[in-house]
Structure formats: C-alpha cells, structure tokens
A = this chain, B = another copy of it.
C-alpha cells in the first residue's frame, strides 16, 4: 500500500504511530469521541502531544485512522456473507444491515466519523475516499450483475442508480445516527421502503402489480 524505506528510524516512526492508534482506539471506545482529548491519547500512549499531531492532521483524522481497521473488517464481512444467489435488493440491504449494526455498536464514533466523511471539505483524507470508492464498487458491481440477470431494465444507468441508493443509505444513516441510541432494525426498515421506491422504477415488470 505504502512503500516503507526499511530504515531504523522509519520503523520507529511506524511503531509510535501504531502505539498512538491503539491508545486512541482504546480511549475512543471507552470515553466516546467527544470526551477523549488529544492530551489523554498522548499520555495514554506515552508520547508528547505534538507527536500525536505530527502523525495525524487533526482529531478527526485520528478517528478515521483508528476506525480504518474496523472498516476493512466490515468490507470483508460483507464480501464473505453476501448471499450470492439472492436478488440485488437483498444483497444490498444485507450489506447495509452489517454497517447499521456496527453503527449501533459504536454510535458516538460512527456519528462523528460520518459527520467528517460527509463534509470532507478541502483535501479529503485518503481513508474517506477509499470508503466512498469501496461503496461505489460494491454497489455498481451488484447492480450490473442484477441488470445482466434481467432484474433491472437495460436502459437504467447503474452508476446513477447506485448514486440514488447510496444517497438513501446516507440519509438513513444521518437520520438514524441523530438518535442517541441508533436502532439498526428501524434503520433497515426505513432503507427498505426507500429502496423499494427506487427499485420499482427500475423493475422490468409492470408497476401495476403489487
């Protein structure tokens, strides 16, 4: 991913970075994002305040870096557990469900990360861009397959449809995470009804049915 000149100093640097990251994860999880101070992270990691800031642009970057591992694990889980022989609606909602459940497990962290992710002003961090890319790839690929299977009309642009579905997903996330205790089932139900509205327009069947 990133070339590391295997010099003694660089190893040292990567190690302190890891130490900081571990400390941050621990404190974020225990105290939540708001109550975790940079100073506390530094002290817990046994480094200076400035060291933390030299490794991570700001507190938000520290958060996204700390959650990077979780994120990758979720992507893997989605890839591993998605029912291959189900229709695209089921597949996408399954992926959403996995993420909703994670959000419910870490409301504070998810909330703040999403807040940052949505308004990645200026140069958006590489992590968030990666998140966006991953979602796009999964979404568009799933839709294309479904289209080839005839579940979606050929004249539908899968890129646009993914954008529409992803938009509803983000919307459900913001609404759901606005509550003190996000309810993944409720969020999923909401996403289902919104998804169906879009899916119906893309369906090859006559809309009169159902």
Which B residues are in CB contact (< 8 Å) with A111?
A: 119, 121
Pairwise interchain contact A201-B193, C-beta atoms closer than 8 A: no
Pairwise interchain contact B178-A121, C-beta atoms closer than 8 A: yes
Which B residues are in CB contact (< 8 Å) with A86?
A: none
Which B residues are in CB contact (< 8 Å) with A177?
A: 119
| A69 contacts chain B at the CB level, 8 A cutoff | no
Per-residue CB proximity of A128-144 to B under 8 Å, as 1/0? 00000000000000000
**Complexed CA–CA distance, A53 and B177 (Å):** 27
**Complexed CA–CA distance, A3 and B40 (Å):** 46
Per-residue CB proximity of A114-128 to B under 8 Å, as 1/0? 110011111010000
| A36 contacts chain B at the CB level, 8 A cutoff | no
Pairwise interchain contact B178-A118, C-beta atoms closer than 8 A: yes
Within 8 A of B (CB), among A154-210: 155-156, 160-161, 163-164, 166-168, 170-172, 174, 177-178, 180, 190, 193-194, 197-204, 206-207, 210
Which B residues are in CB contact (< 8 Å) with A204?
A: 207
Residue of A163, A167, A168, A193 most packed against chain B (CB within 10 A): A167
Least CB distance from A127 to B in Å reads: 15
Least CB distance from A155 to B in Å reads: 6
Least CB distance from A181 to B in Å reads: 12
What are 28 A-B interface contacts by the 8 Å CB criterion? Answer: A114-B119, A115-B119, A118-B118, A118-B178, A119-B178, A121-B180, A122-B180, A124-B178, A155-B210, A160-B193, A160-B194, A161-B197, A163-B194, A164-B194, A167-B168, A167-B170, A167-B171, A167-B172, A168-B171, A170-B174, A171-B171, A197-B198, A197-B201, A198-B201, A199-B201, A201-B201, A201-B207, A207-B207
Residue ranges of A at the interface with B (Cβ–Cβ < 8 Å): 111, 114-115, 118-122, 124, 153, 155-156, 160-161, 163-164, 166-168, 170-172, 174, 177-178, 180, 190, 193-194, 197-204, 206-207, 210
